[in-house]
Amino acid sequence: MNKPLTVAIVGCGNRGREAYGRILSYRSSDEVKVVAAADIVPERLEMTAKTHNIPKEMCFASGEELLKQPKLADLMFICTQDKQHYAHAIAALEKGYHLVLEKPISPSLSECKKIAETANKYNRTVLVCHVLRYTPFYSKVKEILNSGVLGRIINATLEEGVGYFHQAHSFVRGNWRNTEESSPMILAKCCHDMDIMVWLFGKKAKKISSFGDLNYFKAENAPEGAALRCLDCPKAVKDACPYDAEKIYIEPPRGAKAGRFWPTRVVSDDTSVEAVTKALREGPYGRCVFHCDNDVVDSQVVNIQFEDGFMANFLMTAFTKKIGRKIRIKGTLGELTGHMEENKITVKLFGETKDNITTYDTSTQITAKSHPGHGGGDEGLVKCVLDYFVNDNISDKITTIDKSIESHFIALAAEESRLHGGEVVDMDEFESKF
């Protein structure tokens, strides 16, 4: 029997430990084994070591420490923060690792290209975590498009509802609130959507324009009497505020009392009510959403002219009750509408009869046993990664860096346009700068 694929995880946080680490732990140890890990937070490293039975000498206090060792595994998952990816990825490629690299590859297009070039130089594979491609939902959309039933595709409209609490958590109080520290919103959150467009429609983007702003989460919109921290806020103001940190992190349905799940576990590794309350009193997640050091947008629109006359537009908005992605595709013979989180797709072919309407439910492919993250995309990605490295089975979804980089060019061209009042960006000119 072949030896199992060996894996090192750098960055044992929400993605490295809770998403991919957990999913890898469900797989057979004949197929894959996590043999080394690194994180600067000892508790996270310990939890990872415990899950995978990693001996002490294979646990490291940082990615840098791990990368000083000889090559310890076949494959490395890099799940550190956006601006750390570049240094970790280059060092790992030089050491001889294949990579599963969290998105964004890097907020700098020059760095993205350098990682791709280094991978080529050392003949290594870099798979980027564009998890949407691996969901049953988008796989079905792709299958329908490939079947040709919709005719020639003329337009598509995509919407990403970030969810009011998710925006407050990640993009106002949390890790991706500030462009300089992490990435612009359109890259950090929406490179997935740009990647899905590239993959589904298989066309090259030619021109882009975009508008967007931070409309709401700033001091001028703070309710009268609001305190700087939610735990200090007057009851009447707090009661009327859906962004109140206690509502998001402590009260059900998603708070500490409800268990150990995201986003509460990001606030505190110990998700008891006492520990979370302490974190809200002292840490970044207890801050009033109108008094943070955030600058990323809370809504943005992007218009894209692709080759062959195909046009798409995209809306990212913070202001939805639930997290959800919607897609509408218009072809010459029919139209498709879909909602990823509801796992529902409807295809209406043009003509008068009722029989021309077909609905698909992709939720049946996400079983109780599976990991539900990103509509089954996290688990789908791990499955395709293992198929790729263990079984030499290369799925058409596979997000190698050369394919994934296109989404970063589109996202950062949109940001360029937004910062210049919606000016049209010519993609050939834009790409030639890097």
Ligand X SMILES: NC(=O)c1ccc[n+]([C@@H]2O[C@H](COP(=O)([O-])OP(=O)(O)OC[C@H]3O[C@@H](n4cnc5c(N)ncnc54)[C@H](O)[C@@H]3O)[C@@H](O)[C@H]2O)c1
Residue 13 interacting with ligand X (CB under 6 A): yes
Is residue 434 exposed (0-12), middle (13-18) or buried (19+ Cβ within 10 Å)? middle
Phi, psi of 320 (to 5 degrees): -135, 150
Span interacting with ligand X, options 77-85, 105-113, 267-275, 353-361, rule CB under 6 A: 77-85
Amino acid residing at 170:
S
Nearer to ligand X, 80 or 271 (CB): 80
Is residue 3 exposed (0-12), middle (13-18) or buried (19+ Cβ within 10 Å)? exposed
- Candidates 25, 62, 337, 365; binder of ligand X (CB under 6 A) is 62
Q: How far is CA 166 from the centre of its chain?
A: 12
Q: Which residues ranging from 393 to 432 are in contact with ligand X (CB under 6 A)? A: none
Quick note: the x/- pattern for ligand X over 155-184, rule CB under 6 A, is --------------------x---------
Nearer to ligand X, 176 or 360 (CB): 176
- Candidates 374, 397, 408, 418; binder of ligand X (CB under 6 A) is 374
DSSP 7-21: EEEE--SIIIIIIII
Residue of 400, 424, 399, 402 lying closest to 413 (CA atoms):
424
Residue 142 interacting with ligand X (CB under 6 A): no
- Candidates 26, 29, 41, 215; binder of ligand X (CB under 6 A) is 41
Q: How far is CA 59 from the centre of its chain?
A: 26
Span interacting with ligand X, options 79-87, 196-204, 221-229, 333-341, rule CB under 6 A: 79-87
Residue 131 interacting with ligand X (CB under 6 A): yes
Q: How many residues bind ligand X (CB under 6 A)?
A: 27
DSSP 218-268: SGGGPPTT--SBGGGS-HHHHHT-TT-HHHHHTSTTTSGGG-S-TTHHHH-
- Candidates 49, 58, 72, 79; binder of ligand X (CB under 6 A) is 79
Question: Rounded to whole angstroms, how far apart are CA atoms 9 and 75?
Answer: 9
Span interacting with ligand X, options 39-47, 112-120, 320-328, 362-370, rule CB under 6 A: 39-47
Question: Rounded to whole angstroms, how far apart are CA atoms 63 and 61?
Answer: 7
Closest CB to ligand X belongs to which residue?
13
Residue 279 interacting with ligand X (CB under 6 A): no
Span interacting with ligand X, options 9-17, 109-117, 236-244, 353-361, rule CB under 6 A: 9-17
Residue of 71, 125, 7 lying closest to 399 (CA atoms):
125
Q: Are strands 425-426 and 205-213 parallel, antiparallel or unpaired?
A: antiparallel
Span interacting with ligand X, options 57-65, 148-156, 218-226, 406-414, rule CB under 6 A: 57-65
Question: Rounded to whole angstroms, how far apart are CA atoms 188 and 52?
Answer: 29
Residue 43 interacting with ligand X (CB under 6 A): no
- Candidates 74, 82, 193, 246; binder of ligand X (CB under 6 A) is 82
Nearer to ligand X, 231 or 275 (CB): 275
Q: How far is CA 326 from the centre of its chain?
A: 16
Residue 14 interacting with ligand X (CB under 6 A): yes
Nearest approach, Cβ of residue 77 and ligand X (Å): 10
Residue 15 interacting with ligand X (CB under 6 A): yes
Residue of 190, 248, 62, 44 lying closest to 256 (CA atoms):
248
Residue 107 interacting with ligand X (CB under 6 A): no
Residue 81 interacting with ligand X (CB under 6 A): yes
Residue of 215, 213, 159, 178 lying closest to 82 (CA atoms):
178
Site residues, ligand X (CB under 6 A) = 10-16, 38-41, 44, 62-64, 79-82, 84, 102-103, 129, 131, 175, 188, 374
